[in-house]
Amino acid sequence: MEFSLSEEQIELREAIIRFARQEIVHDLAMYDKEGHFPFDSWRKCAEMQIIALPFPEEYGGCGSDFLTTVVVLQALGYSCKDAGLVHALSTQILCGLQILLFGSPEQKQRFLPPLCRGEKVFAQAITEPDAGSDAIGSMRTRAEKTEKGYVLNGSKMFISNGPIADVVIVFALTDPEISRLGGISCFMVEKETPGFERCHPVEKMGLCTLQNGELVFADCCVPASALLGREGQGAIIFNESMEWERSLLPAAHLGTLERVLETCVSYARKRSAFGQSIGKYQAVANKIVDMKLVFELGRLILYKAATLKSQGKRATLEASIAKLFISEGLKQSCLDAVQVHGGYGFTKEYELERDLRDSVAATIYSGTSEMQQAIISRLMGL
Q: In DSSP terms, which residues pair with 244 in a beta bridge?
A: none
Q: Is 245 a catalytic residue?
A: yes
Are the CB atoms for 287 and 339 separated by under 8 Å? yes
Upper half-sphere CA count for residue 243 (Cβ side, 13 Å)? 22
Are the beta carbons of 234 and 186 closer than 8 angstroms? yes
Q: Which of these is catalytic: 128, 214, 243, 245?
A: 245
Tell which residue, 300, 313, 322, 291, has the closest CA to residue 4: 300
For 197, which DSSP code?
Answer: E
Answer positive or negative: Cα dihedral of 280, 284, 286, 292.
negative
Q: Count CB atoms within 10 A of the CB of residue 287.
A: 18
SS3 label, residue 120: coil
φ/ψ of 130, rounded to 5, equals -115, 15
> What string of DSSP letters covers 261-276?
HHHHHHHHHH-EETTE
Q: Tell me the C-alpha to C-alpha distance, in Å, between residue 163 and each of 10, 88, 197, 308, 369.
A: 35, 12, 9, 33, 26
Catalytic residues: 245
